[in-house]
A and B are shown apart, each in its own frame.
Chain A
Amino acid sequence: SSDLTQDPAVSVALGQTVRITCQGDSLRGYHPSWYQQKPGQAPIFLIYGKNNRASGVPDRFSASSSGNTASLTITGAQAEDEADYYCNCRDSSGKHLVFGGGTKLTVL
């Protein structure tokens, strides 16, 4: 299996840009997917692959990756973006899936 590491918490000023990172060895071979979750709600699928947004996801959300690190960038963060964000990827076997520990985003 493979672990994915995320910063527990990140903050951003309203309207500014923030990057949420995800690190793990399996990211060298696979692109992660990204999810947003607000308290008491099911996760919402945001992005997969190199940078493919799910239907209805604002274009202020984008993804990138290099080596063992992937990033979710929010350009011009809005108050409604305050949430927990998770990355997810296949492990090295390709048969199991693993989530990062999640990043709590606060919009100031």
Chain B
Amino acid sequence: EVQLLNSGGDLVQPGGSLTLSCAASGFTFSSHAMAWVRQAPGKGLDWVSSISASGGSMYYSDSVKGRFTVSRDNSKSTLYLQMTSLRVDDTAVYFCARDRHETTSAYFDYWGQGSVVGVSS
């Protein structure tokens, strides 16, 4: 059974830093791209970042580029999101998801339960 377990959420001050983790099990982690998707309170889903299976390619939304860094440790089957220079509008539930790509389609077929990140003074 595929499982993604989010951890690391916290309340931080603006300008602060935080690292989220996502522990994967039930599939060959090193064979799959992964992604982070967030959801601000009462708002819709917002793609944040994706990383290739090897970790050699990373992609970011314009709203987090330069502040967030996605990485992975395939030996530990774990995905990370390092967040710096946090802003109030980064407050959200952060989900990790398995990221699948085909020629004319992309989809997130498994999701973690989410980690709550609050940014407030």
Contacts and interface: CB of A to CB of B under 8 A. Distances in A.
**Category for how many chain A residues contact B:** 20 to 34
A88 B107 contact: yes
B117 interface: no
B108 A99 contact: no
Given A30-B106, A43-B95, A96 B46 contact: no
Contacts of A31: 104-105
Contact of B44 (A48, A96, A100): A100
A88 B35 CA distance: 13
B25 interface: no
B111 A45 contact: yes
B62 A48 contact: no
Contacts of A43: 37, 45, 95, 108, 111
Contact of B45 (A89, A90, A102): A102
Of the candidates B61, B62, B113, the one having the most CB atoms from chain A within 10 angstroms of its own CB is B61
Contacts of B100: 48
Contacts of B113: 42
Contact of A88 (B95, B106, B114): B106
Contacts of B104: 29-31, 49
Interface of B: 35, 37, 44-47, 50, 59, 61-62, 95, 100, 102, 104-114
